[in-house]
Amino acid sequence: MSKKINTLWVEKYRSADLNSYVGNETIKTTVDKYIKQNDIQNFLFYGPAGTGKTTLAKLIVNNLDCEYLYINASDERGIDTIRDKVSSFAGSASFAPLKVIILDEADFLTIQGQAALRNVIETYSRTTRFILTCNFVERIIDPLQSRCQVLKIVPPTKKDVAKHLNWICNEESITHEINDLVPLVNQYYPDLRKCINTIQLSTVDGGANDLYLKIDQSILVSSNYIDKVINALSEGSKHNKIDCYNDIRQIIADANVDDFDDYPLEMVIDNKDITLSNSDVINDNIKIYDLDERQDSVKEISGDTSATLGEITSEEYHSTIKAEKPIKVVRDLATKFNIENYTKKLNIRSINDNEKLLEFYVSKYPDEFNRKSRLFLSELKRVIDRPRNASMLELSGVGFTTYKSTGVKDFYQYQYQITNFDKIIEFNGHYVIKFKANVIVNGIYLLEKYRLDELDKKYEKKERKN
C-alpha cells in the first residue's frame, strides 16, 4: 500500500537501459553505438506525448560516463535560463570526459531562447552535447534542428504497449487479465504515461496483499468523438437545443479533430525548395499548357502578382526557378501576403475526379520568426474571424511540380482552378486553409515533355538547314 502512494510508476518503471525500452529498434541501435563509444551527437527527439522521449534522453545520460544537467523548458522558457544555467554548466570545469544537457520539451523555449541556445551549442561543441525533446519539431527553429541529429520517436505498437503494461502489473503483483489492459490501451494509445498512471490509479488493495486491477469503465468511454456527438444528440432531446448545440461544439473542440473532411487524401506536396539542381535537364519546366486552354480568370493575370503558371521562359527559369517553392499561385489581384510563401505542405483531397479540396498547412511557428512572418500570422488571425473579402484568400489558380512529395512521383505538373474558399481550421500547430478546386492539369511528366520539346526543336533546325 505504502509503495503505491509514494512512488509514481511512470518514474519507477522508466527504462534505465535500452533493453527495457520498448520499440524504436533503429534508434536504439544508433544510440547503443554512441553509448559504446562514450560520446554522442546532439540529438533532437520528437514525437507524441508519453511515448518515451524523456525516458530515452535520461537513459542515454545514465549510461554515459558524463556529467549532466536536466532542464524542463516548459518551466524555464526564456533566454535567461539559457544564458545562466546552460552556459554556466557548459562553461564550468569538469572531471567527466563529457557534459550533456537535456532540454526537455524544448518546443516551449521562446524564439530568443532558441536563438541563444544555438550560440551556446556552437561555443561549447568540443565538450558539451545537447539532447532536446519536443512534441512538435516545427516549433524548433531550423538552425537548431540543423545542429542536431533529428530523430522521430515512433510509438511502440499497441501489442508492445500491452505487453509492457502486463509486465508492470506482474512486477507489482497485481491480479489481472491481459484482457483488462486491451480497452485501456485502445483508449490512451500511444500515450504510455496515461496508461501507466491509469493502472496505478486503478489498482485496488483487497487487503492481505491482494492487489487487483479495477478499471473504472467511465474513463474508458469511447474517445471517438462521433460516438460522443451521437450520444449528445440522443441526450439532447431531453434538454433544450442550445445546451445540446453547445455540448456538441465542446465535444468537437475537445476532440481536436481534422477529419470533418474525410475525402481521401491523394497527395501531400512538400513546399520546401524545389532543387532541380540539374538545370540542363529541365529548362522549360513551367511552360506546360496553352494559355487558351486556361479558364478566363486564370488568363487575366497582370501586374504585380506571383503568377508564374505557364509563363516562365527558360532564361527566367534559370534565374528564378532554382530554389523556388514547388507551389505556385495565380491571383487576379496582388496581395500583401502570399500564403504559398508560408505554406509548409499542401494536401490534395479528392472530392471526385474533377473536384479537389486543397489544404494549405501554415505553421503557427514559422522558421523565420521575423517581422514579416509575425505580420502575416496576425493578419491571418484576422482573416479567420472574417474571411469574407480577405485578399489573402482570393486565389484563382494553384499549380505545383511534385518533388519529394508523398503519394505521387517526382516532376509531375498539376494545376487547379480554385472555385471557392472553404474554411480555416487550427490543427496540430498549424492553420489549415482549405479551398475547393477543379482540376485543369492532372499530372504531366515534365521530363517527357522536355524530351519531346527538344526533339521538336532539333527537327526544326534540321529542316531549316536542308
Ligand X SMILES: Nc1ncnc2c1ncn2[C@@H]1O[C@H](COP(=O)(O)OP(=O)(O)O)[C@@H](O)[C@H]1O
Residue indicated by cell numbers 538547314:
465
Q: Which is nearer to Mg ion, 54 or 373 (CB)?
A: 54
Residues 6+ apart with CB under 8 A from 2: none
- Rule CB under 6 A: is residue 43 a binding residue for ligand X? no
Cβ–Cβ < 8 Å for 148, 130: yes
The CA–CA distances, whole Å, from 274 to 85, 295, 404, 441 equal: 41, 27, 9, 19
**Binding-site partner at residue 22 among Mg ion, ligand X, none, CB < 5 to 8 Å by type:** ligand X
Q: Which stretch binds ligand X (CB under 6 A): 12-20, 347-355, 399-407, 415-423?
A: 12-20
**Helix 53-62 to helix 25-36 angle, to the nearest 10 degrees?**
20
Query: Of residues 111-130, which lie at the interface with Mg ion (CB under 5 A)?
Result: none
Encoded one letter per residue, x for contact with ligand X by CB under 6 A and - for no contact, window 141-170 reads: ---------------x-------x------
Give Rg (Cα) of the chain.
28
Closest distance of CB 362 from ligand X, Å: 26
Q: Which stretch binds Mg ion (CB under 5 A): 38-46, 54-62, 396-404, 412-420?
A: 54-62
- Rule CB under 6 A: is residue 196 a binding residue for ligand X? yes
Q: Which stretch binds ligand X (CB under 6 A): 52-60, 210-218, 275-283, 360-368?
A: 52-60
The three cell numbers locating residue 149: 541529429
| Element at 143 (helix H, strand E) | helix 142-145
Q: Which is nearer to ligand X, 55 or 401 (CB)?
A: 55
Cα separation of 430 and 339, whole Å? 13
Return the HEC string of 152-192: ECCCCCHHHHHHHHHHHHHHCCEECCHHHHHHHHHHHCCCH
- Rule CB under 6 A: is residue 13 a binding residue for ligand X? yes
Cβ–Cβ < 8 Å for 64, 100: yes
- Rule CB under 6 A: is residue 172 a binding residue for ligand X? no
Cβ–Cβ < 8 Å for 109, 335: no
Query: Of 18, 21, 307, 397, which lies in the binding site for ligand X, with binding defined by CB under 6 A?
Result: 21
Cβ–Cβ < 8 Å for 57, 133: yes
- Rule CB under 6 A: is residue 188 a binding residue for ligand X? no
Residues 6+ apart with CB under 8 A from 389: none
Query: Of 54, 200, 271, 338, which lies in the binding site for Mg ion, with binding defined by CB under 5 A?
Result: 54
Cβ–Cβ < 8 Å for 44, 145: yes
- Rule CB under 6 A: is residue 399 a binding residue for ligand X? no
**Binding-site partner at residue 232 among ligand X, Mg ion, none, CB < 5 to 8 Å by type:** none
CA-closest candidate to residue 231, choices 251, 255, 258, 253: 251
**Binding-site partner at residue 323 among ligand X, Mg ion, none, CB < 5 to 8 Å by type:** none
- Rule CB under 6 A: is residue 72 a binding residue for ligand X? no
Query: Of 27, 35, 55, 117, which lies in the binding site for ligand X, with binding defined by CB under 6 A?
Result: 55
Nearest residue to ligand X on Cβ basis: 52
Q: Which residues share a beta bridge with 118? A: none
Closest distance of CB 342 from ligand X, Å: 29
Cβ–Cβ < 8 Å for 396, 373: no
Q: Which stretch binds Mg ion (CB under 5 A): 2-10, 53-61, 144-152, 303-311?
A: 53-61
Query: Of 52, 310, 397, 399, which lies in the binding site for ligand X, with binding defined by CB under 6 A?
Result: 52
Footprint of Mg ion on this chain (CB under 5 A)? Answer: 54
Interacting residues with ligand X (CB under 6 A): 10, 13-15, 21-23, 49-55, 133, 156, 164, 192-193, 196
